[in-house]
Amino acid sequence: MERILITFFDVKDIEKEYLYKYKPENCEFIVISDPLHKYIDENIDKVKDSEIISVFTSTNAPGNLLKQFPNLKLVTTRSTGFNNVDLDYCKEHNIPVVNVPKYGDCTVAEYAFGLLLDVMRKITFSYLNLKEGIINIQSNIGHDLMGKTIGIVGTGAIGCHAIKIANGFGMNIICYDPYPKEEMKLKFNVKYVSLDQLLTESDVISLHAPSTKENFHMINDECFNKMKKGVIIINTARGEIMDTQALYKAIKNGIVAGAGLDVLECEDILANEDQYLIKVDCIRHECLSKTLINHKLLEMPNVIVTPHVAFDSVEAVYRILKTTIDNINGYLSGNVINKVN
């Protein structure tokens, strides 16, 4: 039987042993640490015969890159999100795209509360002050979570786990989601409200909505103007859900007292600035302005920014890989699972 070539991009060291251990028979693996869009220009001949490619969120996979794989039959994303893959191209060429629909419920929710505690109790701020020899008890005073109202936007798997954690902290929980979870209402005394009501009543707002066309900039100038003065914003979902410029203005105007952000708009530029500066003419104008604001956010003492790592725990990585291998085995057996297009 002819061996099937499968190429994995964006592979961390921790993933390699697992992938080879559970490699399906009659498959050949190529494992590459670089994202597809960085690797492919000079190395396409090494991987062009791949029937399956597997990518992570750090890969951009537009149609003009995917077409360089003439034998491509399946794209598997090692993530829940798949907006980095050109679904229109894949659909046009009958290439299924599959994802990992569930792997980081507790992982991302726990991280969101790590950011929240950091911002509310000024943990990083206090630590950095101490490193500079500054001990100012008054400037380090924070706020309790108990008794505060948290507004959770999006009650999918991650949002529901965030509800469980918030309940443990003794918070009042209100949620916005077009599809309310009745079991969460009953078990955790959750109140589902309109987005407007959530914005006006919440002391903390944590975003757990997916990145869709409908959700683009769902948190914008109009939304910030409805919020309580002193609200805390946490975003571990996707940067595009919140208007970066609107957030910056709300922080400067004192509406938002602090923010914990694991995701940003145009975040890939921050991670690869040297590469983008060489090709600055290729960067969209709106991304240039957002990158400037991102740098200003990094300078703010009441803002914690991390590089899109909320999903990244050892346990979550292994859950991702298990589902990815299951997705590949499904395709090989003629039963494509977790298809998104």
How many other C-beta atoms lie within 10 A of the C-beta of residue 19? Answer: 17
CATH says 4-99 is which class?
alpha beta
Residues of the chain where predicted confidence (pLDDT) is lower than 70: 1, 272, 274-283
How many other C-beta atoms lie within 10 A of the C-beta of residue 273? Answer: 12
**CA separation for the pair 75, 78 (Å, rounded):** 10
- Provide the pLDDT for residue 279: 62
Please list, in sequence order, all residues whose beta carbon lies within 8 angstroms of the beta carbon of residue 85, skipping any fewer than 6 positions away: 55, 61, 75, 77, 97
> What are the tens digits of pLDDT across the range 238-257?
999 999 999 999 999 999 99
Q: Taking Cα atoms as reference points, which of 195, 84, 108, 204 lies closest to residue 157? A: 108
How many other C-beta atoms lie within 10 A of the C-beta of residue 214? Answer: 9
**CA separation for the pair 140, 61 (Å, rounded):** 44
- Provide the pLDDT for residue 80: 85
CATH 3.40.50.720 residue window(s) in the chain: 4-99, 105-305
Name the 3-class secondary structure at 19.
helix
Residue 36, beta-bridge partner list: none
- Provide the pLDDT for residue 286: 80
- Provide the pLDDT for residue 283: 62
**CA separation for the pair 15, 29 (Å, rounded):** 13
Q: Are 91 and 66 in contact (CB under 8 A)?
A: no
- Provide the pLDDT for residue 136: 86
CATH says 105-305 is which class?
alpha beta
- Provide the pLDDT for residue 212: 87
- Provide the pLDDT for residue 231: 98
**Token representation of residue 7:** 């190429």
- Provide the pLDDT for residue 268: 81
User: Mind telling me the catalytic residues?
Assistant: 238, 267, 308
**CA separation for the pair 74, 72 (Å, rounded):** 6
